[in-house]
Structure 1
Amino acid sequence: MVPYNALFGGTVVGFMCSAALVVSVSLPIATRTERQGGIYDRTTRGLRIYLATPRLRGLLALNLAVAAAGAMVIVNTVVIVQGLLSRPQTDVALALGLFGCGSMIAALTLPRLLDRLSDRAVMIPAAALLGGVLLSVAAMSRGGIIGWPLLLETWLVLGIAYSAVQTPTGRLLRRSATPEDRPAVFAAQFALSHAAWLVTYPLAGWLGASLGMPATLAILGGLTLAGVAAAALLWPASDPDVIEHAHADLDVRHPHLHGGRRHAHAYVIDDLHHRWPARAG
């Protein structure tokens, strides 16, 4: 029986490094505005904006991918280290600490990388790396056992890839909503990402107990890659901020139009833009 305090202590040590990521995150500031519509409209606004925006639908699929890979680490590290490898509790902390350090390496490297590459060009390949690593380790496991050096190397790489998917998320959400709608969109991301964890946490535990670690790695790796494939389809490769579009429903004298029904500007879903332009994905 694996002691609970090993899981708790190891998780705390591993994610003390990851928690430092929040230092560089700017939280959205709500702007007081008078909204039309009833309570249903106000409470579902963030979710509706989220699901109407192609890049955020892709992010939803990436939420599933990172949750599948992350659940493997968080749920099964203590089982692998103490249950299968019979190593001490301190090694649980070491393995989780390497995952956290990998996350920090990515977080410190990404700002310069994102100056040259788009969010999509970083997030989708990083998520694909998560799935590929899980499947590779499943294939390399011998007799149902993952070797200690292999586990440490794997958890470090998973930490790097995990953070590379997660770190640009805030920037992606900010560019997908007006300032007054950002709190609602961030709340939608919180809810949807945690829904993915709600599925993958028990799945990782059940698979590990029922099928063993190689099969668990393979199934969660396959689920991760399925999320990556969905994200690649839902999030168009061409994803400009400024999109030319027309407003057939507005009077030409409306202040938003500046005298013409067709115009271009940074496009987000809001009270005047209810659907994503078809030609923009």
Structure 2
Amino acid sequence: MNVLLSNRNYRHLFFAQITSLAGTGISTIALALLAYNLAGDRAGSVLGTALALKMFAYVILAPVIGAFAHKLPRKQWLAGLDLVRAGLILLLPFVSEIWHIYLLILAINSCSAGFTPVYQSVLPQVLPDKQQYMKALSWSRLAYDLEQLLSPTLAGLLLTVMSFRGLFIADAITFLLSGALIITAVIPAALQPERKKSIIHNLQFGIRSYLKTPRLRAVLGAYMAVASASAMAIVNTVIYVSEALNKSEQETAMAMAAMGFGSMLIALNLPRWLKKHEIRSVILTGCIMIVAALAVGISLPSWSVFLLLWFVLGMGTSLIQTPVGALINRSCRESDSPAFFAANFSLSHLCWFFTYLLAGWGSATLGLTHAFMMMTALSLAGLLVALKTYPKHDPEELEHAHPGNDGEPETVHSHHFVIDIDHPEWPVKP
């Protein structure tokens, strides 16, 4: 970590990520409590709808941003979006109607849809060394875990001295700090891709290329398992703890922290484990852990078992999400990485869109047992897709053919293969 932090630009970007995600974790707890304050036992459906709107913004806008990210002034873009998000979040303490939540969540996360894929595409340029980049992905995973560990813990402490509405102000401050850190970093200019200039082609390129890459299709299946676990935790933890277990707001924060502990345990150790194990086996193990934990949850266990299940869910989601950045970077040209990262962001959050709705409305209309059953079934489907789609033998170099020109015979050669303007289709084994 000392080597990584000696890189000034990475250091500023990393701490910008930590501060903004810490605030987001606090506001996630506050949003759940706000929904419960306004809707009571219907909070699951309200929160599920709000988070589905968040996913809708991600799914629709991320590919658009990815198509044109190479043309953006990246430093000003990232810092400006942090400033806008801070202003919007400051409106949340004044919410008095459920539709206010929906409108502000859509606006705030439209900004996030423009921020995250661009931020992710910057890191490989800031850290060109592959080993350092893999370690940086693990630390990025740890930063995300602040939403589930340090942030909920801090939220629990803050709730002893202020109302939950005050937590949104803390979130706004973290976005202002994040923007200031980004402004002080040197961000490399985006590489210009060698592809067609048409708007339609640029919009389609990232998603089409992502879906034509077998290992990335498998990642999308694994993300269905991640989304099932995350949706159940984020939407229904407050319902389960408050209604089924009859415990307080502090226990809600503790449950989310247990999930964060599990995720951090994996993120801290994964770079070392990946020296001995293939990413494919790591991702499939994560899927299996999620399926097992959700299946046990169908029985609506006691508080201690519930904490253990959330710990296992955190481990499973981290096993899948931590190495994804390395897989994407391996699967595209550097100049095309913004489009690929945007495609991953959009398609993975499409999974969350459906799981948030099912987790929220399922628990509100059918009960928590049926919600656990639905999430178990979806995560099992994701595991089967990943198992079937991810090649057991997945070399970087692939032999493939190019058609000849003007009647010349086709040429066959082998090199590091990715989908790009010269290789629009994945080679089929003879």
Instruction: Give the structure-2-normalised TM-score.
Output: 0.56
Tell me if 1:121 matches 2:295. no
Partner of 1:23: none
**Structure 1 residue identity aligned to 2:394:** D
Displacement after TM superposition at 1:276 (Å):
0.8
State the partner residue of 2:319.
164
In structure 1, list runs of 5 or more residues that go unmatched.
Answer: 19-26, 254-259
Distance 2:351 2:284 in 1: 17
Query: After superposition, where does 1:1-281 map in structure 2 within 5 Å?
Result: 5=30, 7=32, 14=148, 16=150, 30-138=190-298, 141=299, 145-249=300-404, 261-279=411-429
Mapped contact 1:28–1:182 kept (Cα < 8 A): no
SS at 2:274's partner residue? helix
Q: Matched residues in 2 for 1:235 and 1:17: separation?
A: 35
Letter in 1 for 2:209: I
Q: What's the CA shift for 1:119?
A: 1.2
Q: Contact 2:404/2:411 (CA < 8 Å) preserved in 1?
A: no
AA partner of residue 95 (structure 1): A
- Counterparts in 2 of 1:28 and 1:131: CA distance versus 1, 3 Å: farther
Distance 1:251 1:51 in 2: 31
Partner of 1:30, secondary structure, is coil
Residue 43 of structure 1, CA deviation: 1.8
Structure-1 separation of matches of 2:420 and 2:197: 13
- 2:193 touches 2:336 (CA, 8 Å); kept in 1? no
* Deviating more after overlay: 57-66 vs 151-160: 57-66
Q: For each residue in 1:33-67, what CA deviation from the matched residue of structure 2 results, as whole angstroms up to 9, or x when unmatched?
A: 45324111112111111011111111111121210
User: 2: CA distance between counterparts of 1:74 and 1:250?
Assistant: 56
Deviation at 1:191, TM superposition (A): 0.7
Letter aligned with residue 210 of structure 1: T
Letter of the 1:274 partner, please give it: P
Matched-pair contact (CA < 8 Å) for 2:236–2:359 = yes
Give the counterpart letter for 2:333 in structure 1.
T
With over 3 angstroms needed to count, the CA separation of the structure-2 counterparts of 1:15 and 1:251, relative to structure 1, is: farther
Q: What is the alpha-carbon distance in structure 1 between the residues aligned to residue 427 and residue 342 of structure 2?
A: 25
State the structure with bigger RCO (CA 8 A, min sep 6), 1 or 2: 1
Deviation at 1:12, TM superposition (A): 7.7
Q: Find the residue that maps to 2:148 and give its secondary structure.
A: helix
Q: Aligned partners of 1:123 and 1:56: how far apart in 2?
A: 12
Separation in structure 2 between the aligned mates of residue 13 and residue 266 of structure 1, nearest angstrom: 37
1:201 maps to a residue whose letter is Y
In the TM superposition, what is the alpha-carbon distance from 1:208 to its structure 2 partner? 1.0
- Determine helix, strand or coil for the equivalent of 1:43: helix
Q: Secondary structure at the match of 1:265?
A: strand
Q: How many residues align?
A: 258
Distance 1:180 1:36 in 2: 13
| Shift in CA distance, 119/250, structure 1 to aligned 2, threshold 3 Å | farther
Matched-pair contact (CA < 8 Å) for 2:398–2:414: yes
Cα distance in structure 2, aligned partners of 1:171 and 1:250: 36
What's the CA shift for 1:112? 0.7
3-state SS of paired residue (1:238) = coil
**What secondary structure sits across from 2:375 in the alignment?**
helix
208-217 vs 59-68, which deviates more?
A: 208-217
Q: Distance in 2 between matches of 1:154 and 1:32?
A: 46
Distance 2:273 2:407 in 1: 43
Between 207-216 and 78-87, report the one with greater CA deviation. Answer: 207-216
Q: CA deviation at 1:14?
A: 2.1
CA distance in 2, matches of 1:123, 1:90: 32
What is the CA distance between 1:210 and its match in structure 2?
Answer: 2.0
Q: 1:148-173: CA deviations, max 9, x gaps?
A: 00111111111011111110110110
Greater helix percent: which structure? 2
Aligned-pair Cα RMSD in Å: 2.7
Structure 1 letter corresponding to 2:364: A
